[in-house]
Structure 1
């Protein structure tokens, strides 16, 4: 497939530059325009971008798929110019900006003892004042490892949630928080316990939200699936979507080593850590955090080895990847779960996808698109008017599940 795409681009380039250096006649302009049009139509309608679906063929899943046209079509068509995974990710960073109609306000999460220890949520406000059709429903959104309410993909999703008539809230992790405190506790931080605390806090503080559904991205998707597996008897969450999840972190991590993503993610985390490094001055010395090495990390392994595993209490990086990967809990998930991944995702690698697990657990539908990169799935051929495609199938799934909630 990628070879064919490169050939298309080369042919277009040759046609363009072949005509550029001499005077062009009207006939040549028409011919060239026709050539570009035919090439585009051929590319759009005849290239294979069929997504694969993995699920147990029970009546519940069949009904969901029948009511979700995007999922049922099993098709995602990436932009003509942005096919390759890294190019699509780069185009997303350049062309897809923040939504000006969204404004976020942060709320600190308070534990049952009245302590504030760094967990918070961000509440979005829709400045366009679109109608909320289901005030009893709340979307709980988990960003990726380095994400938050200032990321374009979060804005894309939150805006789409508003367009469907729902409210949402964005979860902020404790590790890189300015409010992180070690005064009340010397215990290692448990991410899933933090998540449970936050969901229980929202349920108690905002009883008007009878139904909470969750959408996790990348590392956040790994967390929500872990959570749903661990608390499967009383998850509070009624349904969830897992977007670009690494699932088996011990596998996904191996494919990142030595790539541009390895360096980029390590430096991104280190830069975020630098802005909050003083909060770690009171961290227990016995944890063995090496702040200097973490700040200078050039690989994810270096960063995780010098701060992440110390913070969360794992003896080694390999143990952390092996135990925290949600592949260990996914079979225990007891609520409807839509999983969306791209085969060309270089960060959450396709070899880690839970295809067999989706066939065994009757609550899971896994959709694997041919392209999409990592939490991108660009849509539209005008670079200045592109958006993320993935909220479309995710919200179709959620709309169906919510429609059956009283």
Structure 2
């Protein structure tokens, strides 16, 4: 309570100081207007501190993992203060790409060939200036998986690379087929349910750096793919830990949420057009196998998946694909420490579909739920250019797994 009163006093004092110096009293006549502004500001500050800024809910399947997180990742116990002027879910989601900085990162690209003849683009940040790990053979490797139509140039990926650069780690970004400018050699792209390419990439990293610890971070669909991979592999993986951000746990619930009128207008139609643009870019490869004109007339992600994705990967129906793509069904089989961050107000992954009970049944799982943050938002601070709450969770968990991962054995 003392902390709440202190924050309230500091915030109202700063607002008063700003208004006294920046607002011309004459604009408000006798000063009544200024009093109204101060009163409104104080009321808003009170509402924010009581109803918006809250500690996240931490759900952990086992006491050992719970203790590890609280000792090594203090962010899981700290109050999350969303940016006070844009804490609403949709606003956070829409503004993140525009208000956050894009750190300068120089990648080294590698194209690897898949068994079906396709190619996968990997963007490496080798971090050759690493002070803590000058020996490349043991330098920790962090595998990053972007979202549905994302690449290594997304701001949230660049921020994670920046965090790894500061820690001395090496990064590699797994770009899904056909999205990062490389030529598509076969009529196949990607989906959340199919983890063959991911498995091949992880094996490739392990062969290149056998003595280096490897962990992975996935965002949105990238997180879904990672969770499905872990559920399939169990203990048969070289990954030491995984962190997942804004994953959609039940695809049926995700698509239903995104088909509500406002969310369909703000997000669904745009993402559908991005998916269609990627298909159209590689039309010569696809047109012998699919009715591309029919695909291009899809109005929602569900329609796109019905006409393209589920058919590409051989599912009898789109419902079969969505069931297989939903990570919630595989969480019980995850045998690697995995921390998942979701916002309760994320329209892409609605609160009622977040797998709280499933996480409680597996000692390898932890779920961090913030009241606000939207989808890959998690903006904090007055002007959230350089860092977000999500970045802090990533940095602390990556460092904990790499430097204290021995404490997580035999969860």
**Both proteins in one fold, TM over 0.5:** yes
Matches within 5 A, 1:28-43: 35=39, 38-39=42-43, 41-43=45-47
Q: Which residue of structure 1 aligns with residue 254 of structure 2?
A: 252
Is residue 87 of structure 2 the alignment partner of residue 83 of structure 1?
yes
Report deviation, 1:191: 2.5
What is residue 6 of structure 1 aligned with on the other side? none
| TM-score with structure 1 setting the length | 0.83
- TM-superposed deviation, 1:250: 1.8
Distance (Å, rounded) in 2 between the aligned partners of 1:176 and 1:313: 21
Q: Provide the TM-score with structure 2 as the length reference.
A: 0.82
Partner residue, 1:138: 141
Are the aligned partners of 1:216 and 1:224 in contact in 2 as well (CA < 8 Å)? yes
Match of 1:404? 404
Residues 313-349 of structure 1: per-residue CA shift (max 9 Å, x gap): 1122111111111112111010110010001101122
Instruction: Give yes or no for the alignment of 1:72 onto 2:77.
Output: yes
Aligned counterpart, 2:389: 389
The verdict on how the C-alpha distance between 1:36 and 1:164 changes in structure 2, with shifts beyond 3 A counting, is farther
Q: Do 1:132 and 1:167's aligned partners in 2 also have CA atoms closer than 8 Å?
A: no
| Aligned-residue CA RMSD (Å) | 3.0
Is the partner of 1:23 in helix, strand or coil?
A: helix
In structure 1, the partner of 2:196 is: 193
The 3-state SS of whatever aligns with 2:339 is: strand
Report the CA distance between 1:67 and its aligned residue.
Answer: 2.1
Cα distance in structure 2, aligned partners of 1:37 and 1:198: 52
Q: Which runs of 5+ in 2 are unaligned?
A: 1-14, 407-411
Which residue is 1:354 aligned to? 355
Q: Which moved more, 1:30-39 or 1:348-357?
A: 30-39
Number of positions where the alignment pairs a residue of Structure 1 with one of Structure 2: 375
Q: Is the 8 Å Cα contact of residues 40 and 80 (structure 1) preserved in structure 2?
A: no
1:68·1:397 contact (CA, 8 Å) conserved in 2? yes
1:393, distance to aligned residue in structure 2 (A): 1.5
For 2:232, the equivalent position in structure 1 comes to 230
Residues 386 and 40 (structure 1), Cα distance of their counterparts in 2 relative to 1, 3 Å cut: farther
CA displacement, residues 237-272 of structure 1 (integer Å, 9 cap, x when unaligned): 110011111011122221112422221211121122
SS in 2 for 1:310: helix
Deviation larger for 238-247 or 24-33: 24-33
**Pairing 1:103–2:109 present:** no
Change (3 A) 1:306 1:175: farther
- Equivalents in 1 of 2:244, 2:341: separation in Å? 6
Matched residues in 1 for 2:25 and 2:276: separation?
48
**Deviation digits for residues 16-56 of structure 1, max 9, x if unmatched?**
9xx88963579679857855764565355433523211113
Distance (Å, rounded) in 1 between the aligned partners of 2:124 and 2:374: 28
Contact 2:379–2:389 (CA<8 Å) still a contact in 1?
A: yes
SS of the aligned residue for 1:346 comes to coil
Question: Structure 1 165/41 Cα, relative in aligned 2: closer, same or farther at 3 Å?
Answer: farther
Query: C-alpha offsets along residues 339-367 of structure 1, whole Å, 9 cap, x if unaligned?
Result: 10001101122222110011100011101
Q: Any conservation in 2 of the 1:142–1:170 contact (CA below 8 Å)? A: yes
- Conserved in 2, the CA contact under 8 Å of 1:218 and 1:348? no
Distance 1:44 1:301 in 2: 37
1:86 Cα deviation (Å)? 1.1
Q: Which moved more, 1:335-344 or 1:20-29?
A: 20-29
Q: Contact 1:109 / 1:116 at 8 angstroms: preserved in 2?
A: no
